[in-house]
Amino acid sequence: MSPAEALKKESVYQPDQKGLIFPDLPAFETFEEERTHRKQRLVAACRAFAQHNFDFGFAGHISVRDPEHTDLYWTNPMAVHFSQVKMSNLILANHAGEVVEGDYAVNQAGFILHASVHQANPDIVAMCHAHTPYGTAYCSLGRPLDPITQDAACFYEDHAVVNDEGGAVAVAKNQGLGVVEAFKNNRAILHQNHGLLTGSRHSVDSACYWFIALERACQVQLMVDAAATKPIPVTPERARYSREHVGSEYIGWLHFQTIYGQLAEQQPDMFG
C-alpha cells in the first residue's frame, strides 16, 4: 500500500487487501443524489429507533441537514410512529420550525431545539433525540459517563451534562441554552432530567449509531452502579485511544451499515 493510499484510510478496520467486499463511503454527483441518500438514511434511523424500542408516544426526533439548502432540515413527521416513517412522509423545515415541504406537522418543541443546534453549529449534519429508558434514568443523576468499558470510552471527553430547567418547550425557546453551546465541543449530551442527544458532523448514520451506543452505555453504567464492587476504569490514555480509533464518526457510520442492510432487506416499505 502506497503512502497516498494509506492517507485515504479512515480506520484500521478498512482492509488493505484489494477486491474484498467492504462498505465504501458514498460519493455524489448532484445535490439530488445526496438528498435522496440522506433521506433514505434518515428513514432507516427512525426504523432503527423503532427496533430498539426508543418510541415514547410522539416524543423523539431525528434531523438531517439538506445538502443544498443548508438552512433547511429533513425530519420525521409529528405523531407518526418511528416504524411508520418512510420517504414519502418526511418533512422539510426551516430554523423557525415552519414546514417548507411535506404534508405533516413538525414537533415544534423538539425541532426548534434541533434547528437551534444546527444553526449555531453549521458543521453538524444530523442530530438525534429520544426518550429512552436507560438514558432518561441516567440523565437524572446529572453526571457524565465513566470510562468503565471500551464502548463507554468512545464518549470520553466528548459528551457533556447540561442542566436546562423548564422542560422541552422552555428550552426550545431559549436560543442561548446550554444544549446548543455544549454541542460546539461535544457530539453527545446528557440533558439532565430529560434524556440523550447526539449530533454528527459526518452523517445521520453516525448520529443514529452513536445514539444507540450512548443508550447502551447508560444501561451498562446503571448496572455497574448497582453492583457491590466498584468498577476498574479505563485509564485516560486508553480511553482517549478508544475514542479516536473505535469511537470516531467514521466508525459510527460503519457500524450503521449493518443496521441499514438489515432494514433495507426486511422493511422495503420504508422507501415508499
Domains annotated on the chain, with CATH: 28-261 (3.40.225.10)
Sign of CA pseudo-dihedral 132, 45, 58, 197? positive
Does residue 79 surpass a pLDDT of 90? yes
Split at pLDDT 50, 70, 90, the class of 173 is low
Split at pLDDT 50, 70, 90, the class of 93 is very high
Of 9 and 217, the structure prediction assigns the larger pLDDT to 217
Cα dist from 220 to 35, 50, 260, whole Å: 36, 21, 25
pLDDT tens digits for range 140-155: 999 999 999 999 999 9
Cα dist from 33 to 19, 26, 38, 232, 248, whole Å: 26, 10, 9, 48, 25
Does residue 174 surpass a pLDDT of 90? no
* Average pLDDT value for the chain: 92
Task: Provide the pLDDT for residue 178.
Answer: 87
pLDDT tens digits for range 235-256: 999 999 999 999 999 999 999 9
Burial per residue of 148-168, b for 16 or more beta-carbon CB atoms within 10 angstroms, e otherwise: bbbbbbbbbebbbbbebeeeb
